[in-house]
């Protein structure tokens, strides 16, 4: 083996060793000081520690304003069936009010973190289409189409997003009722798995990758689980403690 070939093989080995999963702050880095789930502060904190992405959840109000919150209801208000004035008056646990998507993207624009945008499952197909249409339009308006990837738990929403996103934009879905091969046939790009499910069924990772589907894992609580994810080629970690998970990864060769 000549010297050039040896160097190329070494370089390839180093490249493989460096392929660690990207860490996505689930609802932002919400357990940082002064932060809260789906808050502006959580987005800024996720960016500040070098997360690959920061996840957030989008609803459309009864009067067509895009707002960010995880649950369908906040302080007794059903978001889909309330006005923006009612929803935006609600406080998060850190004292911020519920952000609009517009406010969120204004803050996100100069940051580096990728935007992992979950489109919530709405009550009707008509409203599901409305939230998708308005969200895609706002990402375009902000020039953020290259920095956003989408997640949804709505089957209709998934199929609609796949049809409408710009080429190359990732659309992801929770694993469970959809197999990797089915997701690929629909034109989707990623599946989310519980770490424990993957560890019991490691062949799922190979099947995803063979089908061109990225693998996201969540509920990782120990360094051993993290090492397993690294060794088995998991692409992304969805994390409720992103600083801890970044620290775990930094200590692995």
CA 182 – CA 61 distance, rounded (Å): 32
Residue 57 or 235: the one with the smaller Cβ distance to Mg ion is 57
Instruction: Determine the Cα–Cα distance for residues 151 and 218; give it in Å rounded to an integer.
Output: 14
Shortest spacing between CB 151 and Mg ion, in angstroms: 7
CB 51 within 8 A of CB 246: yes
Six token digits for residue 7 = 């160097």
Q: Interface residues with Mg ion (CB under 5 A)?
A: 57, 118
Whichever of 83 and 240 has its CB closer to Mg ion, that residue is 240
DSSP state of 95: S
- Residue (38 or 100) nearer to Mg ion, CB: 38
Q: In terms of CB distance, is 32 or 58 closer to Mg ion?
A: 58
Give the gyration radius of the chain's Cα atoms: 19
In whole angstroms, the minimum distance from the beta carbon of 164 to Mg ion comes to: 20
| Least distance in angstroms from the C-beta of 14 to Mg ion | 35
DSSP classification of residue 92: P
* Residue 88 · residue 100 · CB < 8 Å: yes
Q: CB 70 → Mg ion: shortest distance, Å?
A: 6
Q: In the numeric block, which tokens belong to residue 206?
A: 């190979």
């Amino acid at each position: 083996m000549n010297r050039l070939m040896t160097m190329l093989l070494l370089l390839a080995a180093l490249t493989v060793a460096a392929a660690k999963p990207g860490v996505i702050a689930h609802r932002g880095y919400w357990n940082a000081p002064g932060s809260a789930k789906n808050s502006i502060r959580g987005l800024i904190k996720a960016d500040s520690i070098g997360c690959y992405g920061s996840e957030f959840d989008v609803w459309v109000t009864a009067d067509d304003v895009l707002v960010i919150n995880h649950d369908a209801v906040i302080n007794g208000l059903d978001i889909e069936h309330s006005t923006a004035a009612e929803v935006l008056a609600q406080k998060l646990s850190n004292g911020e009010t519920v952000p609009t998507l517009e406010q969120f993207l204004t803050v996100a624009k100069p940051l580096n973190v990728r935007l992992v945008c979950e489109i919530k499952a709405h009550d009707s197909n008509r409203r599901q289409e409305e939230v998708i249409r308005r969200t895609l339009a706002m990402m375009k308006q902000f020039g953020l189409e290259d920095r956003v990837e989408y997640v949804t738990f709505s089957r209709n929403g998934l199929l609609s997003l796949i049809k409408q996103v710009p080429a190359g934009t990732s659309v992801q879905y929770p694993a469970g009722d959809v197999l990797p091969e089915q997701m690929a046939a629909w034109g989707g790009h990623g599946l989310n798995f519980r770490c424990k499910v993957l560890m019991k069924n490691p062949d799922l990772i190979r099947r995803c990758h063979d089908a061109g589907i990225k693998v996201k894992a969540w509920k990782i609580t120990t360094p051993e689980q993290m090492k397993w994810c690294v060794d088995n080629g998991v692409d992304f970690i969805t994390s409720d403690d992103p600083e801890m998970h970044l620290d775990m990864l930094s200590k692995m060769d």
